[in-house]
Amino acid sequence: MLGQAAIPLVGVVDAAVIGRTGTAADLAGVALGASVISMVFWAFGFLRMGMSGMAAQALGRGDRDESRALLLRGLLLGFALGGGLLALSVPLQQAAFALLAGEPEVTRQAGHYATARFLGAPAALATYALTGWLIGLGRTRPALVLQLVLNLVNAAASIALVWGLGLGPFGAGLGTAIADWLALGVGLLLAGHVLGESLPATWRRLAPGTLTDRTALARIIRVNADIMARTLALLAMFTWFTNAGARLGAVELAANHVLLQFIAMAAFVLDAFAFTAESHVGQAVGARDHAAFRRAVRLTAEFSAVAGLMLALAFLALGQPLVALIATDPGVRAEAARMLPFAAAVPLLGMPSWLLDGVFIGATQGRALRNAAVAATLAYLALDLALRPYANLGAWSAFAASYLLRAGALSAHWPTLVRSLR
């Protein structure tokens, strides 16, 4: 939970340094740029999610060689895909900003932020795979260290580049890119500590052909392709919501971005229980232990419900002071305060969907994740279009309801999951 709570601080720090030194257009630009980065980077979130389920199942089977091979495959794949993103960053930005309805100045600042963030793409995607491997093995302390390094370096670099050198949104993005590379270096050292040997030594230890085993590669492709489709569907949902704010104006876009930092905090904290479910469900599936599966789901659900309630109450009590800390623009503060009850409700509404994600990821049920995400996204888009006459109120109503849609769609696949374990 500590490691997960540290993750959204990247976005909070970027929003705070811009919100307290720049204009509403600067903050809206960071919001739009961050949305583009999320849309592009998290299209490859399967590197983390697919890795955790497969690593946990390898641990449950006692297959140490496959566990080592999974790490190396994930790192190589993440670095290669990240390099491709960096090479294609210009056309990717052009396509993304053509889809998002930002004002000219907002789009210009968003481009500065996104350009800098793409410099860290290879490191960020390789770190996704490394983090997933650690979570799958239940090695949460190294994962915590990795996140703390990322966030501390990002905070220091962003403050120095934005407040110190006045580089604005570009400086905020560059600070995060620098943090991505340093975090990857630390992560590789942590992986060596977990393995008990250096990564080159692990490479030499594997039998010839292990990394290129066709059966293993086919499974990785199958699971990750489904999870990628699921992630793209959910990213479309978040991008649509961001675009709703951009369509209404810079003030609404900036205010929604501030509140999304609260939701990110809730999502990452509650994802701690989902990641625990990934690890324990994956190990139970690998060992074919139905009793361990039921226990993992029950315990993580109970803790998630309590944590979701506590977060909702905390957002209601502390939301307005936190908004004032992040943003100085009076219009942004007023609009964020008006929409705060919706953001406070999300930890409770979203808890079942986040937990079920963890359960199905641990069981590597990629097809169910894909189908549920596509169905929920289509239903959300229809609801948002129906509520457009209510402006930002309608946008937030549809967005809050999307979490219930996701949970309902995944619940429909629950009987099939239980039968597969038996």
Q: How much is the pLDDT for 122? A: 95
d(CA 417, CA 422): 9
Q: How much is the pLDDT for 8? A: 60
Decide: 131 and 146 in contact? Cβ < 8 Å.
Answer: yes
What type of residue sits at position 319? G
d(CA 393, CA 39): 24
What type of residue sits at position 29? G
Distances (CA, A) of 415 to 141, 368, 420: 34, 11, 9
Q: How much is the pLDDT for 19? A: 67
Q: How much is the pLDDT for 365? A: 85
Task: Say what the pTM is.
Answer: 0.71
Q: How much is the pLDDT for 183? A: 92
Tell me which residue of 260, 174, 244, 226 sits closest to 49, measured CA to CA.
226
Q: Which residue has the tokens 């580089």?
A: 167
Decide: 263 and 348 in contact? Cβ < 8 Å.
Answer: no
Decide: 281 and 55 in contact? Cβ < 8 Å.
Answer: no
HSE (side-chain half, CA atoms, 13 Å) at 391: 8
For the chain, list residues with pLDDT below 50.
none
At a CB cut-off of 8 Å and minimum separation 6, what does 236 contact? 377
Q: How much is the pLDDT for 24? A: 67
Tell me which residue of 306, 340, 407, 393 sits closest to 1, measured CA to CA.
306
At a CB cut-off of 8 Å and minimum separation 6, what does 288 contact? 421
Tell me which residue of 276, 413, 258, 241 sits closest to 335, measured CA to CA.
258
d(CA 111, CA 273): 35
d(CA 409, CA 374): 9
Q: For residue range 337-392, list pLDDT tens digits in order.
A: 999 999 999 999 999 999 999 899 888 888 899 999 999 999 999 999 999 999 89
